[in-house]
Chain A
Amino acid sequence: MEEILLKLYEMTAIGSIVEQPSFLIMYVLAFVLLYLGIKKEYEPLLLIPIAFGVLIANFPGGDMGVLAAVDKMVDGEMYHNVITLSNGEVWADAKGVPYNIYEVGLPQIAHDLGLMNFLYYMLIKTGFLPPIIFMGVGAMTDFAPMIRNLKLAFFGAAAQFGIFAVLLIGSNFFTMQEAASLAIIGGADGPTAIFTTIKLAPHLLGPIAIAAYSYMALVPVIVPLVVKLLCTEKDLKINMKEQDKLYPSSVEIKNMRVLKILFPIVTTTLVAIIVPSAVPLVGMLMFGNLIKEVGTNTSRLYDAASNSIMNAATIFLGLCVGATMTVDAFLNLQTIGIVIGGFFAFGLSIAAGILLVKLYNCFAKKKINPLIGATGLSAVPMASRVANDIALKYDSRNHVLNYCMSSNVSGVIGSAVAAGILISFLG
């Protein structure tokens, strides 16, 4: 009887959890993220799958945690992309030679390492899902506000400063690849952060994705905080429509529909020539947008990109990213560094956008509300909505949403370009 009870005990996860109580921290983290996603509605489409991925990855014996591939010395010889199993043994063939995971077929990965590793190495590690999500984002993005206010798109470039500033600071504490992956959080773009991290520091994917999406969810808190620190009441009362009336644009748009079709084609060509490594992101973003703008002839493609494909990609991305956050991968000093560094990257990006607008206002007749600089980070359209709410608090007639969308959308292109540069130089 005692033996049966002992076997039952060993069969459950309880024994392993008692042996290694740090699993409990991961459950608490998963529950907190689930609470934020479900109850507080912070980025629920991504936080809920990520949180559930964290939960299911941390049950000993469940084999749902993603195992990192690292270069490792085994019996005095160096092997590449070696997997260490949850029981501490190296994943090896019958002769004891460690497998290189990139030389093993997907069916064997599924059989030996479980479902989540199969999904991770097929969909995430190959860099497949982030561009697919960008296609969906493109299909849901309207570039009209940017085309109407092209000049404001320049502030989307300033807001990439946080990325490079944190790269500079982070280079003292991390390797260049790790610092770049951490810094890209400042772009406030989840798929871009994931894409860059996969290419440069895949072992940090879990904490970086969590930090990126958490800070994006906290845009309604972080943007007002930075705005309060850097803007005066006079700045925030600058009414963009009144400025437009005082200094009207010299160019009138006669055919927005044709422009919206040409814009993604020409932008992709331009970006592809200058930063080819950004093409997987920018190209797919613009392709998604093109099939939206063409209209009824591609409505089925648009529907697939913005609904079924986007939804499926979001589920798999969220679950796989969550499953990378196993106890060993998450509970370490690097994670704390990522959380702190990510916050600075985010804050500095917002600040740089605001400061460039303020600098511009020192010299220009036509003043710009600094909130338009604050929305230069991606986080579309939440950052613009938050900025609009702030503007309305100071002047109930001052609707800045459309102006903010210009720098906000250009921020998506800017962060993808920044990611391309980091990958080109450090990948």
Chain B
Amino acid sequence: MEGNFVEALKLMAVGMITVFAVLGLVIAMGNALIRFVNKYVPEDEKPAPKAAASSASAAIAPDVRAAVELAVAKITGNKGKIEKIEKI
């Protein structure tokens, strides 16, 4: 059992150092990624289509929108969510 204790002590030292080292590297890598993305992919492109979608949806008459919402709610059992309504 004494041998076990010594082995456990060594494992504790190795384990804690490794866990700190790995998470330290993840943090360092995360910071490097942030700098890299800021430099080479600066624009977050997501908001643009959202704005377009909302303006497209806004063009739909309120009564039509209400009817579509009711239909979707009925068919999907209130689980469906409308993100965009477009005229085709």
**How many residues of chain A have a CB within 8 Å of chain B?**
48
- Chain A residues lying within 8 Å of B19, measured Cβ to Cβ, are 157, 160, 414, 417-418, 421
Q: Is A65 an interface residue (CB 8 A)?
A: no
Chain A residue at minimal CB-CB distance from B14? A421
A157-B16 Cα distance, complex, nearest whole Å = 8
Interface centre among B5, B12, B43 (most CB of A within 10 A): B12
| Contact partners of B8 in chain A: CB under 8 A | 164, 167-168, 170-171, 176, 179
Q: Quick check: is A307 within 8 A (CB to CB) of the other chain?
A: no
**Is B1 in contact with A160, judged by CB distance below 8 angstroms?**
no
Bitwise, B10-22 to A at CB < 8 A (1) or not (0) is 0110111011111
Asked if B15 and A255 sit within 8 Å, CB to CB, the answer is no
Cβ-based interface call for B75 (8 A): no
**Is B33's beta carbon under 8 Å from chain A?**
yes
Tell me what chain A mostly uses at the interface: helix, strand, loop, or mixed: helix
Interface centre among A171, A176, A414, A422 (most CB of B within 10 A): A171
Question: Nearest 10 CB-CB pairs, A to B?
Answer: A164-B12, A171-B8, A171-B4, A157-B23, A168-B8, A255-B44, A157-B20, A150-B30, A157-B19, A421-B15
* A-B contacts, 30 listed (Cβ < 8 Å): A147-B34, A151-B27, A153-B26, A153-B30, A154-B23, A154-B24, A157-B16, A157-B24, A164-B12, A167-B12, A167-B15, A168-B9, A171-B7, A175-B4, A251-B31, A251-B35, A251-B38, A253-B34, A254-B38, A254-B41, A257-B45, A259-B37, A266-B33, A270-B26, A271-B22, A274-B25, A421-B11, A421-B19, A422-B15, A425-B14
A156 touches B23 (CB 8 A): yes
Range for the number of chain B residues in contact with chain A: 35 or more
Q: How far is the CA of A147 from the CA of B29 in the complex (A)?
A: 10
Number of A-B contacts (CB under 8 A): 132
Checking B1, B11, B18, B25 against A270 with a beta-carbon cut-off of 8 angstroms, the contacting residue is B25
Residues of B within 8 A of A (CB): 1, 4-5, 7-9, 11-12, 14-16, 18-27, 29-31, 33-35, 37-38, 41-46
A126 to B35, CA, bound (A): 41
